[in-house]
Structure 1
Amino acid sequence: MTKLTQRLAGSLEVAARLLRRYGSDHGKVLVLGGVRSGKSRHAERLMNRHPEVVYVAPGYPASEDDPEWAARIAQHQARRPANWRTVETTDLAATVRKASRPLLIDCLGTWVSRVLGEVGAWEQTAGWELRLDERLEDFLAAWVSAHVPIVAVSNEVGMGVVPATVSGRLFRDVLGALNNRVAADSDSVQLVVAGRVLRLTERALL
């Protein structure tokens, strides 16, 4: 057996074990919503049926320089069940690929903001567009091939006013395009408005 077939066999065995563990009804769910719409709470409820969940926090960490943001993070942390494990990372692609437990990513909006900074988009550093495309495509490829139940929360950015700044418009355009790509490869896309859930597509249940 060649090394390639050995790796393939190993990947298929991992997928089979996860399928036996979680059943055939797991899916990929995108939860969209505006600020304070209740999207995070809804996503958390979707994952409550699983005995173990990995909560992926790709946003900016708490800082003494921004007490309001630190308070938001503390509020989210207080809601998480004790059996949930938190992972703080911007490497979403690697996290999804090596996942062996259900994942909740909250949220893609804060992840895009950090990635734009990491690739040099805010300063318009040479080559930032290519670096951004590579990061986004890497995550999208991992999302498509995910073998565990996974919920991603994201901001719906297409319903407000046009941002007044170049950076604001860049963020809106990148996140809007990413939401479209993630939705296209999701089993369920759900929009939360004022705490109410609108199911836009529904192909599989968690």
Structure 2
Amino acid sequence: MTKLTLRLAAALEGAARRLRRYGQDDAKVLILGGVRSGKSRHAERLMSHHPEVVYVAPGYPASADDPEWAARIERHRARRPPNWRTEETADLAATVRKASRPLLIDCLGTWVSRVLGEVGAWDQTEGWELRLDERMEEFLAAWTAAHVPIVAVSNEVGMGVVPATVSGRVFRDVLGALNNRVAAESDSVQLVVAGHLLHLGERSLL
């Protein structure tokens, strides 16, 4: 398993000492949920009062080879306010570091899938775990240091059956560990289930 998972326990130990800051101008919010749970719409509502928002789409871009995925992306685009700017990028760390406007990242699950492909995880290319750790840690450092309102949407992957494939298990484990790390450095963690919102707390108690 990657160093990301091994460092999870250490990160959570310090999370309980974080001050409650949800509602402040530089609050960091993590929104978790399953497929079609309403998590993206909830994130968009949270950011709707800002006059300008940068919508960060870190997953694979639309492609003519996958019309279903392209249609999903178009549906998301169609409901964004005209004053929001969309940035499609897999370099989340740089995007967060340079941000001067509120950010909405949707979503960490599609980003992890893209990064796993870029570092060679699917083919088990030598050194992929080290490259993955570097990408994850760069993003986590940027998230922790961010000084703009920022909301990240992510998939909750820990409630289903164990995937039957190695790639599925790698994705589940990496995203689950990342969600924990991001949550430990967030001011509010929220879970959307079947369109209903659950506040998991303004700070981790683990």
Which TM-score band (shorter chain)?
A: 0.7 to 0.9
Residues in 1 aligned to 2:37 and 2:43: alpha-carbon distance in whole angstroms: 12
Q: Aligned-pair distance for 1:128?
A: 0.5
Q: Aligned-pair distance for 1:66?
A: 1.4
2:198 is the alignment partner of 1:198: yes
1:176 is aligned to 176
Residues in 2 aligned to 1:183 and 1:168: alpha-carbon distance in whole angstroms: 22
Residues in 2 aligned to 1:171 and 1:24: alpha-carbon distance in whole angstroms: 33
* Paired letter, 1:77: R
1:123 is aligned to 123
TM score, norm. by length of structure 2? 0.86
1:91 is aligned to 91
Alignment of 1:7-86 (within 5 A): 24-86=24-86
Taking only aligned residues, the RMSD between alpha carbons, in angstroms, comes to 1.1
Alignment of 1:150-189 (within 5 A): 150-189=150-189
Q: Aligned-pair distance for 1:153?
A: 0.3
Secondary structure (helix, strand or coil) at the match of 1:29 reads strand
Secondary structure (helix, strand or coil) at the match of 1:202 reads coil
Residues in 2 aligned to 1:163 and 1:182: alpha-carbon distance in whole angstroms: 23
Residues in 1 aligned to 2:201 and 2:115: alpha-carbon distance in whole angstroms: 28
Residues in 1 aligned to 2:100 and 2:146: alpha-carbon distance in whole angstroms: 10
Aligned residues: 181
Q: Aligned-pair distance for 1:107?
A: 0.2
Secondary structure (helix, strand or coil) at the match of 2:82 reads coil
Secondary structure (helix, strand or coil) at the match of 1:190 reads strand
Q: Aligned-pair distance for 1:25?
A: 3.7
1:106 is aligned to 106
TM score, norm. by length of structure 1? 0.86
Secondary structure (helix, strand or coil) at the match of 1:81 reads coil
* Paired letter, 2:163: P
Instruction: Name the CA shift for 1:157/1:24 in 2 (closer, same or farther; >3 Å).
Output: closer
1:137 is aligned to 137
Secondary structure (helix, strand or coil) at the match of 1:96 reads helix
Residues in 2 aligned to 1:163 and 1:174: alpha-carbon distance in whole angstroms: 13
Secondary structure (helix, strand or coil) at the match of 1:198 reads strand
Structure 1: gaps spanning 5 or more residues:
1-22
Residues in 2 aligned to 1:26 and 1:76: alpha-carbon distance in whole angstroms: 25
Runs of 4+ residues deviating >3 angstroms = 23-26
Q: Aligned-pair distance for 1:24?
A: 4.3
Residues in 2 aligned to 1:72 and 1:193: alpha-carbon distance in whole angstroms: 20
Residues in 2 aligned to 1:187 and 1:134: alpha-carbon distance in whole angstroms: 24
Residues in 1 aligned to 2:38 and 2:24: alpha-carbon distance in whole angstroms: 28
